[in-house]
Amino acid sequence: MDSEPQPLAEPSAEPPFEAGPHPDDREDNQAAPHGTAHTEGRSTDRPTHTPRGARNGDHPSRPGALPPAPGRLFGVLGRAAASPLVPLVAVVLLVLVSWQVAADGPVLGLDRWVEHGVATAHHALDSPFLNRVGHGLADLGSTVPAIPALLTGGGLAAWRSRRAGKDRWWLPLPVAALTAGLIPLLVVPAKAAFARPGPLGGPLLPGQWGWYPSGHTATATLSYGVAVLLLARTTGVRVARGLRAAAVLLAAGVGAGLVWSGFHWALDVLASWCLAVLVLWALARRLPRPGPADPA
């Protein structure tokens, strides 16, 4: 006897079971993207609405949308520092401030405003420790230790270049010596020409130089800056970045210490920074990187 035909099974509303992780096992507890909801070819190669943890980002080991990497950030800053706008801005600021100092113009009100703020901070904090720190930072712009640091940096750069077998290894030595001689040539004639009284308000004595521009700031910025510029040509990228950051912090610290201690007006410091930036920018552009040793 023929068996009766079996009724066809009703189609199930559930999709057939497949091996693999269950949708509920996903970290984001979301259904797997499929169909038109899956967007392919996006910059991060991820589906729509995927959480940060699932992004590939701009580097395989850095998930998600990340800020620029430190190396990339330093590269941007380096390109900005090499821009022709840097000396242009420095020249404009230097001319403007010098004109206002010579004419006793309204821009000098910025100096009085900064001086009032510093005096208020001194009175509010009444900190002998901060005063000692300010004096110590200002002293870093003295001939000693700034000039010995410059000459030491030039000598160390020459020694490292010679040890590496570089051509023109001796070049940092005359560069450091010429920089040491250039500093007073930039500052002393300007001090005598402008004859600006200092923040303490006392008149200049006969034969006394003025306060504009700041000699300590120029000495510190050029000495430490050129020493680092020479040394950075003989070191790795990471060490060079650290040296440049240290030079910037030293120059900023000397200027802040001078203003905090009442030794200089703020615009005196700004003018010396502009002078130093012009020299450093030109030197960085002209100073050749040491080449390989000459063949025997």
**Does residue 254 form part of some domain?**
yes
Residue 201 lies in a domain: yes
Q: What CATH number is given to the structural domain containing 271?
A: 1.20.144
**Residue at 147 is within a domain:** yes
| 56 domain-assigned | no
The reported pLDDT for the residue numbered 265 is 97
Q: Please give the structure tokens belonging to residue 59.
A: 């580097």
Distances (CA, A) of 201 to 56, 197, 204, 282: 63, 6, 9, 36
CA 275 to chain CA centroid, Å, is 18
* Any domain includes 154: yes
Q: Is residue 53 part of a domain?
A: no
For residue 162, tell me if it sits in a domain.
Answer: yes
pLDDT of residue 205: 86
Domain count, the chain: 1
Which of 241, 226, 237 lies closest to 275, judged by CA?
226
Instruction: Give pLDDT tens digits for 209-240.
Output: 999 999 999 999 999 999 999 999 999 999 99
Q: Which domain holds residue 190?
A: 87-286
User: Which of 17-26, 83-92, 149-158 shows the lowest mean pLDDT across its residues?
Assistant: 17-26
Interatomic CA distance for residues 209 and 283, integer angstroms: 28
Return the structure tokens found at 55.
């992004």
At 167-222, the pLDDT tens digits run 899 999 999 999 999 999 999 999 999 999 999 888 888 888 999 999 999 999 99
Residue 213 in any domain: the answer is yes
CA atoms within 13 A on the CB side of 179: 37
